[in-house]
Amino acid sequence: MTRPLLEVKDLTKEYRGIPAIQNVSLTFEAGRVHSILGENGAGKSTLTKMIAGAVHPTRGEILLDGEPIGFSSPGDALRSGIAMVFQETSLVPSLTVAQNLFLGDEKIFNRLRGLYISAQQLLQSLNFPVDPGALVSTLGSAQRQMVEIARAVRKNARMIIFDEPTATLTPEEKQHFFDLLDRLKERGVAIIFISHALEEALAVSDTITVLRDGEHVETDIATNFDRAKIIRDMVGRDLSSQLYDQEGKRRARPYGEKILSVQNLSMGRMVHNTSFSVYAGQITGVFGLIGSGRTESFKVVSGVVKRNFFHGGIINLLGKAIRYRTPSPAVKDGIAYVTEDRKVEGIFETMSIAESIDIGAMAASKHRSWFVNRRKMNENAAHWSKTLSVRSIDNDARVLELSGGNQQKIVIAKALVQNPRIIIFDEPTRGVDVGAIAEIHEVIKDLANQGLAVVVISSYLPEILSISDRILVARQGRVVEEFSAEEADEEKIMYAAVH
């Protein structure tokens, strides 16, 4: 066996005296994909951030080529050849894709045309359909991710850490991404891959490590693992319930009252003349590729964006025509929207869990009360933390200090506490671990059983198929096809979404 590229020894990170990672020792080799798996809050991000210099270890050593290293910042790590692809956030939104790719390289920066040509070449070589001249702020999350990856590749990194890279990608983009991983491997790049999609991890990894509660459980070559074993290692027991089962096929809920009807809705370049309805007491799944306008259509419904002023179409809520300019009246009317982009419009970083949830509750309350109800606030927080099993270091933890999956649960709780009539989940299980996905799906099904109109927008077909009673497929800004749960299958939906 060759000498490992990077080694961590007895690495520990404590927050306020409580370990997030405890005495973890691992080795990473060049040209291999090493997956790190574990539940939400197991410490995956913390571990990899220490390697990438974004977090400083409390104890322990990191050795690169056998030499101990102590990076003071991610930039520092990058200079030593270790890049980390975070989700979405380290790009400068006001610059173009090309400028972001070459940020810090003033030499090329001076010749703008050269900059765009090199960017174009780089993106093409990676097979990424991104316009180098586009502003990053106009890109969707998948495309931002591609820019991040392209940047790491350009820096000739020897090790690239991907923290949940596939969560925002459509199946086709995922395929591109895995091809890319293969090419990186051939170039001898060591890859750390974090994902909650266990099949993906099994398919792409050479080595798999499982963490639980900050401790190392097992490391082995990937072929010695299967799904059940990983889950057993992750949670410490068997999880009986089968995820993404197709029970919906047998017991689709019947149509309830027509709560929402949308006719000829148009919004900018994203939504063209689309029409659809949503019924109470069932789950309407919405599938579509990037650019299909699925998110935007529902953002119009919930007042987050405005439809076109002229020929914008008609939206009826319980037979009453509505036109919201902001989400506030929509929320009061019982429409809640759970965003797909939690960093940008889902969380309050400085607030505690209870305070965050309480903002949602107060925004929806029809009471003319002017005051905060502390008791109610704590009750709500306790209730939802339990229902969604939110995990944090302590109850006063700020949302920023939660792991990604747990932040997602807070975003969901903040909407559920509003007691909506219609609730729109946009990628509800993004970044959430297997156990929690099952729990969140349970909650979603419960809502439908209670008579709510539930909309689930997802780019993950198995999720759509397992949870929906009715499936809408969007393409190029409009809903083009509708399936009942009985007739739908992956092939039909994919065909409708693409052609």
Partner 1 sequence: MRSFLHNLNQERIVFLLFLAIFVAFSVILPGFLNANNLVLLLQGISVLGILGVGLCVVVIGRGIDLSMVATMALSVAWALQLNIDGMNLYLALAIGLGGAVLVGLANGALIAYAEIPPLFATLASGACVYGFGRLALIHSDLVYVTPAVGDLTLLGQGRFLSIPMPVIVFAVIAVIVGLVLRYTKFGRFTYAVGDNYATARVSGVPVRHVILGQYVLTSTVAFVAGITQAMAVSSMNTRISDTLLIYEVILVVVLGGVGLSGGRGGVRNVIVGTLLIGTFLNGMTILDVQYTTQNAIKALILLIAIIADTLVNPRDEQTAQHGDI
Q: Which is nearer to Mg ion, 281 or 404 (CB)?
A: 404
170 is a site residue for Mg ion (CB under 5 A)? no
- Here the tokens at position 39 are 């539940």
369 is a site residue for partner 1 (CB under 8 A)? yes
Which residue from 138, 137, 139 is spatially nearest to 128, judged by alpha carbons? 139
For Mg ion, which residue of 5, 7, 11, 45 counts as binding (CB under 5 A)?
45
Neighbours of 2 (CB within 10 A): 7
195 is a site residue for partner 1 (CB under 8 A)? no
Give Cα separations from 122 to 81, 149, 317 (angstroms).
Answer: 18, 11, 48
The entry of ligand ATP, Mg ion, partner 1, none near residue 42 (CB within 5 to 8 angstroms by kind) is ligand ATP
Residue 303 backbone dihedrals phi, psi, to 5 degrees? 80, 5
342 vs 141: CA distance, rounded Å: 11
Indicate the helix (H) or strand (E) that contains 413: helix 404-416
Q: Which is nearer to partner 1, 55 or 181 (CB)?
A: 55
Q: Is 326 exposed, middle or buried (0-12, 13-18, 19+ CB in 10 A)?
A: exposed
The entry of Mg ion, partner 1, ligand ATP, none near residue 86 (CB within 5 to 8 angstroms by kind) is partner 1
DSSP state of 253: P
41 is a site residue for ligand ATP (CB under 6 A)? yes
19 is a site residue for partner 1 (CB under 8 A)? no
3-state secondary structure of 10: strand
Q: Which is nearer to partner 1, 129 or 329 (CB)?
A: 329
For ligand ATP, which residue of 30, 235, 252, 393 counts as binding (CB under 6 A)?
393
User: Binding string, 390-419, against Mg ion, x = CB under 5 A?
Assistant: --------------x---------------
The entry of partner 1, Mg ion, ligand ATP, none near residue 435 (CB within 5 to 8 angstroms by kind) is none
307 is a site residue for partner 1 (CB under 8 A)? no
238 vs 158: CA distance, rounded Å: 37
Indicate the helix (H) or strand (E) that contains 187: none
Which one-letter amino acid corresponds to residue 355?
E
Which one-letter amino acid corresponds to residue 322?
I
In this chain, which stretch among 128-136, 275-283, 350-358, 491-499 interacts with partner 1, using CB under 8 A?
Answer: 350-358
The count of residues interacting with partner 1 (CB under 8 A) is 55
415 vs 407: CA distance, rounded Å: 13
User: Binding string, 45-84, against ligand ATP, x = CB under 6 A?
Assistant: xx--------------------------------------
391 is a site residue for partner 1 (CB under 8 A)? no
Q: Which is nearer to partner 1, 172 or 396 (CB)?
A: 396
Is 71:52 a contact under the CB 8 Å cutoff? yes
Is 307:300 a contact under the CB 8 Å cutoff? yes
Residues numbered 33 to 62 that lie near partner 1 (CB under 8 A) are 45, 49, 54-56
170 is a site residue for ligand ATP (CB under 6 A)? no
For ligand ATP, which residue of 6, 8, 43, 198 counts as binding (CB under 6 A)?
43
Sequence-separated contacts (24+) of 492-499 with Cβ below 8 Å = 493/287, 493/461, 493/464, 493/465, 494/171, 494/461, 497/287, 497/288, 497/289, 497/292, 497/473, 498/289, 499/475
Residues that bind partner 1 (CB under 8 A): 45, 49, 54-56, 73-74, 84, 86-90, 163-164, 304, 326-328, 330-332, 336-337, 339, 343-351, 355, 358-360, 362-364, 369-372, 400-404, 407, 414-415, 418, 431
